Amino acid sequence: MIPVKGYAAQSPETDLAPWDFERREVGPHDVQFDIQYCGVCHSDLHQIKNDWFPGIFPMVPGHEIVGKVVAVGDHVKKFKVGDLAGTGCLVDSCRVCENCKQDLEQYCLNGASQTYNGLEQDHKTPTYGGYSNSIVVHEDFVLHVSEKLDLAAVAPLLCAGITTYSPLRHWKVGKGHKLAVLGLGGLGHMGVKFGVAFGAEVTVLSTSPKKEEDAKKLGAHKFVVTKDPEQVAAVAGYFDFILDTVSAEHDYNMYLGMLKTDGTHICVGAPATPSAISAFSLIPGRKSLVGSMIGGIAETQEMLDFCAEHDIVSDIELIDIKDITPSYERMEKGDVRYRFVIDMATL
Ligand SMILES: [Zn+2]
Ligand SMILES: [Zn+2]
């Protein structure tokens, strides 16, 4: 076994603290890479607090992981020592179900292995995430990362990036479309960048007028304060797509009213409590309310390559790992521009 250092929550009641644990030996198809940076996702906080479902403890969060390859198994073809590498939300899947066969490992019918707070494909070994100094992953679930981009700012692409890229590609959002990005946080700011890169007219919908300047800097063409009834009325029936990144409770019916006929409201943010949605928000105008979860491995690589080609990274604040708990407090208040990334050299 390979000894590694990390930060773990020992239970939902405790803060993250240093924890030493072990990774498996590098198998014939495994890649080991030393973690240089790990992004801080809102879901890290939800999972260590058991907000969504009972977690597996001790829990080492982190699924926006980048670093440098230090060992490869005998049969590894895609990586060599010294390469940059990344891993997102998945470290394995069954590979044989109909979704896995279509490069949709995130929807694996037999249960994909989440990077942390999950189980390996033996369905008993817990997975530990990127708040640690090294990781061992099957090469099929390791991504190539371009040397051209700022590595720390690449990390959030592995979750926030692919979560917004995948639905925009799936629904073919681009030139001629009016896209609204609802919420300007870690996901939303990537949604704006991709929407602009794909050629759509992008409007940010936010409760906070203070975010207008940032939205425009990120490339958004328009900004709507959703607390202002006049501004909301002005965009009734206006958008082809809404990319909804908000994980706090909100009224879907109001936003469905902003869609054109045949418009699509795409949920990527996940409020913890169910919402009331009137069928009358959907029926007149043949509207769709849909969801999307991260992306498959091939698409994640496509996204990273697209970002390298178009010089797209996340806007980040680099933090020391000892500041993780105060950073969570700031994240909960939406006080981060736009993703915290842990400098793992501080571990
Ligand atoms: Zn995430
Ligand atoms: Zn599968």
Spatial CB neighbours of 271, under 8 Å, sequence gap ≥ 6: 246, 247, 248, 249, 250
Bridge partners (DSSP) listed for residue 144? 85
Q: Which ligand is the nearest neighbour of the Cα of 98?
A: 2
> Between the CA of residue 136 and those of 129, 139, 314, what are the distances in Å?
10, 9, 25
Whether the Cβ atoms of residue 68 and residue 82 lie closer than 8 Å to each other: yes
Residue 60 structure tokens = 């080492």
Q: How far, in Å, from the CA of 100 to the mean position of ligand 2? A: 4
Crossing angle (nearest 10°) for helices 160-170 and 186-197: 40
Tokens 């939300």, located at residue = 89
Tokens 């992004």, located at residue = 39
Q: pLDDT tens digit string along 10-66?
A: 999 999 999 999 999 999 999 999 999 999 999 999 899 998 889 999 999 999 999
Residue 36 structure tokens = 């240089």
E strand spans, the chain: 2-8, 17-23, 30-39, 65-72, 84-87, 90-92, 113-114, 134-138, 143-144, 178-182, 201-206, 222-225, 239-244, 259-267, 288-291, 316-319, 339-343
Q: How far, in Å, from the CA of 94 to the mean position of ligand 2? A: 4
Distance CA 173, CA 165 (A): 10
Which residues of the chain fall short of a pLDDT of 70? Answer: none
Q: Which ligand is the nearest neighbour of the Cα of 40?
A: 1
CA angle (172 as vertex; 170, 174 as ends), nearest 5: 140
- If phi over 0 gives left and psi between -120 and 50 gives alpha, with beta otherwise, what is residue 200? beta
> How many other C-beta atoms are found inside a 10 Å radius of the C-beta of residue 37?
25
Q: How far, in Å, from the CA of 40 to the mean position of ligand 1? A: 8
Whether the Cβ atoms of residue 317 and residue 337 lie closer than 8 Å to each other: yes
Distance CA 276, CA 296 (A): 30
Residue 212 structure tokens = 């207008």
Bridge partners (DSSP) listed for residue 182? 205, 244
Q: How far, in Å, from the CA of 216 to the mean position of ligand 2? A: 41
> How many other C-beta atoms are found inside a 10 Å radius of the C-beta of residue 170?
13
Distance CA 180, CA 226 (A): 12
Average pLDDT, the chain: 97
Q: How far, in Å, from the CA of 226 to the mean position of ligand 1? A: 26
Rg of the chain on CA atoms, in Å: 20
> How many other C-beta atoms are found inside a 10 Å radius of the C-beta of residue 329?
10
> How many other C-beta atoms are found inside a 10 Å radius of the C-beta of residue 303?
25
Q: How far, in Å, from the CA of 111 to the mean position of ligand 2? A: 7
Q: What spatial distance separates the first Cα and last Cα of the chain, rounded to whole Å?
A: 20
Q: How far, in Å, from the CA of 80 to the mean position of ligand 1? A: 27
Q: How far, in Å, from the CA of 119 to the mean position of ligand 2? A: 14
Q: pLDDT tens digit string along 264-307?
A: 999 999 888 899 999 999 999 999 999 999 999 999 999 999 99
Alpha helices (runs of H) in the chain, residue ranges in sequence order? 42-48, 98-101, 151-154, 160-170, 186-197, 212-217, 229-234, 252-256, 297-310, 324-332
